[in-house]
Each structure stands twice: as structure tokens, then as C-alpha cells.
Copies of this chain bind each other. A is one copy, B any other.
Amino acid sequence: MHYGLFPGGKRIRPILTLAAGEIFGGKRKELLPFACAIEMIHAYSLIHDDLPAMDDDDLRRGMPTAHKVFGEGMALLAGDGLLTEAFHLISGPATRSLDPELVLGLIHELGCAAGVAGLVGGQSTDLEAEDRKVDRAMVESMHGRKTGALILASLKIGARAGGAKPAELKRISRYGEAVGLAFQIADDILDRAGEEARHESGRKEAKKATYPSVVGVAQARERLSDLTRQAMESLAPFGARAEPLRAIAGYVAERALRT
């Protein structure tokens, strides 16, 4: 569990939770348990995704994947443990200073994003789509569940815990939907660029349904720019308080567009 949770990743999701909550005056101490739970769920999904039964990856960020180091059974259990402990954490003393009804709502939001309507559902669609012909709408809907749902939940949970009003929450959600999809398209563009540089286009991953593989790299870049613009527009009324969220949207796009 520790190996999967501390791989030196970007921590985009928990940063989004803190940044969204702080726009509305949320205290870092009250936001952190949710930020941690979201990162734990992200870490579990990567460990399970890397298993031989799924993507069968030997490396993640240049390091051996969890099952390569600890064996498949232990990696499976580490993922199960991180998922369970995420819900254990946010239902306990760590969130006791917030209104219990709000906390229940936030747990429900996370459960929805991580479950059949989100992460798990997206993964199973992805598994079924392997080696099959898919179109742009299918890839966007799959990404929306597989990656988008948890990113959106990171922002909504932060905003709700911070005290956002319904209209404010709506704007944060619009930002989250745009940035979630942008994030996945950017990752797909970067993966493809990396594969081409290593002449690996015949790899298993290359047969997976990705945005650039369906619409082409040029159109993928264009969609990424559009989404980033949409994300920025949603933040307009928040002024300087939304600077961290603007920086993240800019960072996501820039990384992929400069390749």
C-alpha cells in the first residue's frame, strides 16, 4: 500500500481538492482527509490496472509495478486495502469537525465517482473496447468515467467541503468536466509521443482506444485547447482565488501541446 501510494506522482487530484476548497474558505485540515482518500483511490486503481489481468504493465513512472515487486496476490490486496481504507478514513475522526450530513454526502459523491457510474464502470468499458473499433463519442464517454469522474469528484468534494453555494459548485463542476477530459487527452497525446519516440507502436497499449488514435493527433490537440479555454472561462467570477485551478489547467494543456 505504501509503495503504491508514494511513487512520486503528480498528486493532481488531492491538489484539486485543496485548491477548490480554499476558493470558498475551506480549511486545509478539513479538506485533507478527503484529498488523501481520493489519492488512495487513485493509487488503488493504478495498482489493479497494472495487474496482468488488466493492462499487464511491468513499469510505472520508470519503477517496477507493485505486482512485480510484491507478487500478484499482495498487489491485489494492496489495492483492496487502499480502496477500503479511503472510506474508513473519511467516515472516522478525521472528518468529525464537519457537519455529519455533509460528510455523508461527500462519501456518497466519492463512492459514485469510484464505482459503477465512474472508475470501475469506465475500466470495464475499456476492457470490453480492447481491440474493437470505437468512435469519438465512445472514447469521450469512457474517459469521462475512467478518469473524468474522479477528477470531477476531487473538485466537487473540495468545493462542497469548503462551503461552495450551488451556483458556485456548478461552475467548479463545469471546470472539472473540461479539465478531466483535457487531462486524459493530454495523457494520451504524451503516451503516443513517447511510444513513437521509442518505436513501440505495436505494443498492447497501442491497440487500446485512445483519443488521438480515434480522431488523430491534430484534432486531439485542438480539442485539448478548446477544453482548456472552457475550463478557464468557468473560473472567471472567482478572480484571484481561482489562480491555483487556472495554473493546473494551464499545466495540463501545456505539457501535451509542447510535445
Contacts and interface: CB of A to CB of B under 8 A. Distances in A.
B83 A111 contact: no
Contacts of A100: 100-101, 103-104
A138 interface: no
Interface in A68-84: 71-77, 79-81, 83-84
Contacts of A51: 53, 76
Contacts of A95: 104
Interface stretch (A7-15, A85-93, A200-208, A228-236): A85-93
Given A76-B48, A77-B124, A108 B84 contact: no
Given A91-B104, A104-B100, A80 B112 contact: no
A3 to B, nearest CB: 14
Contacts of A92: 108, 111
A107 B123 contact: no
A134 interface: no
B87 A120 contact: no
Nearest to A53: B72
Interface centre among A52, A80, A115, A121 (most CB of B within 10 A): A80
A85 B121 CA distance: 11
Given A91-B107, A104-B91, A112-B88, A80 B77 contact: no
A80 B111 contact: no
Contact of A123 (B67, B77, B88): B77
Contacts of A71: 53
B124 A111 contact: no
A53 B76 contact: yes
Given A107-B91, A108-B88, A54 B76 contact: yes
Contact of A73 (B53, B83, B114, B121): B53
- 10 smallest beta-carbon distances between A and B, as pairs: A88-B111, A53-B72, A100-B100, A91-B107, A84-B115, A91-B108, A81-B120, A87-B87, A100-B101, A53-B73
18 contacts: A48-B76, A51-B76, A52-B72, A53-B71, A76-B76, A77-B123, A79-B80, A80-B123, A81-B116, A84-B115, A84-B119, A84-B120, A87-B107, A87-B111, A88-B111, A88-B112, A88-B115, A91-B111
Given A77-B123, A107-B107, 20 more contacts: A48-B77, A53-B71, A53-B72, A53-B73, A53-B75, A53-B76, A54-B73, A73-B127, A80-B120, A80-B123, A81-B121, A84-B111, A87-B87, A87-B111, A88-B108, A88-B111, A89-B111, A91-B104, A91-B105, A91-B111
